Amino acid sequence: MPKDTPAQQSVRILGLDPGLRHTGWGVIEISGNRLSYVAGGVISPDATLDLAIRLKILFAGVKSLVATYAPDECAVEETFVNQNPVSTLKLGHARAAAMLAPAEADVPVAEYKPNLVKKSVVGAGHADKKQIAAMMRILLPGSNAEADAADALAVAVCHAHHRSTLIKLGVKRS
């Protein structure tokens, strides 16, 4: 079978867990049903900076990740609405900055609800950060990601599990 057949073609996914204080990121590759860890980390703008500067740092950081890792697809965790509307709005700004960088590079961006991400990787929609990090170490050998970076890897893994359904349904991604 030739190397470039769809069954053998690998897909690189950038997962993002946006936040103003910490934006987790993780890059995985899928080949068939095999997941491989590529890289992960956190973009952490100085919390004392103005909002616009922090958003600029997030955008530039994600743009750099897109240039460095050349993902085929990107997945971002959706915003959950919390009790503080100002915090929710600021998180929305962080998501926009993070989503704009791959979109600018014509990388398709899919969005997933936090409970679906958790259920996809842990089996429970209300898993905590420690459970997610532990599961990422099992699913992605070589990954020692914690907290936000592990959450971003979980978003990428969730997308790996659900992307074929999106393609079959013809769902247009951002």
Look up 77 and say whether it is catalytic. Answer: yes
Instruction: Provide the terminal-to-terminal Cα distance of the chain, rounded to the nearest Å.
Output: 33
Look up 46 and say whether it is catalytic. Answer: no
Query: Active-site residue among 29, 77, 111, 151?
Result: 77
Q: Which long-range contacts (CB under 8 A, 24 or more apart) does 122-129 make?
A: none
Query: Active-site residue among 29, 73, 111, 148?
Result: 148
Rounded-to-10 torsion of CA 148, 52, 73, 154: 10
Helices (H), the chain: 51-69, 85-104, 114-121, 129-139, 147-169
For every residue of 19-49, DSSP letters joined together read -SS-EEEEEEEEETTEEEEEEEEEE---TTS
Q: Which residues have a catalytic role annotated?
A: 17, 77, 148
